[in-house]
Amino acid sequence: MARMKFLCDADRCIECNACVTACKNEHEVPWGINRRRVVTIDDGKPGERSVSMACMHCTDAPCAAVCPVNCIYTTADGVVLHSKDLCIGCGYCFYACPFGAPQYPQVGNFGSRGKMDKCTFCAGGPEADGSREEYEKYGANRLAEGKLPLCAEMCSTKSLLAGDGEIIAQIYKERVMKRGYGSGAWGWKTAYRETIES
């Protein structure tokens, strides 16, 4: 089985925010939630870089470790998913996540948190693949259709890569060989505990 990963090659990102928009549209993401976002570091200064970030689907995911009801799990593809039926909206995964991926729709007064929502690597949730319930809770399940996450698929500069970790790492290494290391593969060390520096 492939180990699915994201790779954010900041040296190519042009901050077009198409990944953000595509994700929101593909999954009918609830109001006020962005599963993916583009952050610009050192904006307006020489050397600025933009990074498209969502759930990185960590190895040994901290969100899963701290969840009090154990509703977060890793699939055979290495994708970190969760069950909205089991989630109690406590907010713990969002304290633990290094990437700010888990978010909560506000469902009541006093900022009361609803069920957690985050990037699914376009892999849906625990419901039957492609079912209506799955779509309503988690959005499209592209992985089950043999497709990769939409954000990366339609990235115009191929800054954002998604897929088998070994293949995207290979693509990145080839880029590094040609152009130099640049700003790095953002989040890789934190998420996968491995460096991708050649």
Which residues contribute to the site for other proteins (CB under 8 A)? 10-11, 15, 17, 20, 32, 34, 37-43, 45-51, 53, 62, 65-71, 85-92, 94-100, 110-113, 182-187, 189-190
- Pick between residue 62 and residue 78 the one whose CB is nearest to other proteins: 62
- Residues with Cβ within 8 Å of 88's Cβ and at least 6 positions away in sequence, in order, are 68, 69
Which amino acid type is present at position 147?
K
Asked if residues 81 and 124 have their Cβ atoms less than 8 Å apart, the reply is yes
Rounded to the nearest whole angstrom, what is the least distance from the CB of residue 145 to other proteins in the complex?
A: 28
- Pick between residue 15 and residue 153 the one whose CB is nearest to other proteins: 15
Q: State phi, psi for 23 to the nearest 5 degrees.
A: -65, -45
- Pick between residue 75 and residue 89 the one whose CB is nearest to other proteins: 89
Rounded to the nearest whole angstrom, what is the least distance from the CB of residue 79 to other proteins in the complex?
A: 19
Rounded to the nearest whole angstrom, what is the least distance from the CB of residue 130 to other proteins in the complex?
A: 23
Strand segments (E) across the chain: 4-9, 37-41, 49-53, 72-74, 80-82, 160-164, 185-186
- Pick between residue 112 and residue 130 the one whose CB is nearest to other proteins: 112
195 burial (CB, 10 Å; 0-12 / 13-18 / 19+) is exposed
Rounded to the nearest whole angstrom, what is the least distance from the CB of residue 2 to other proteins in the complex?
A: 25
Which amino acid type is present at position 180?
G
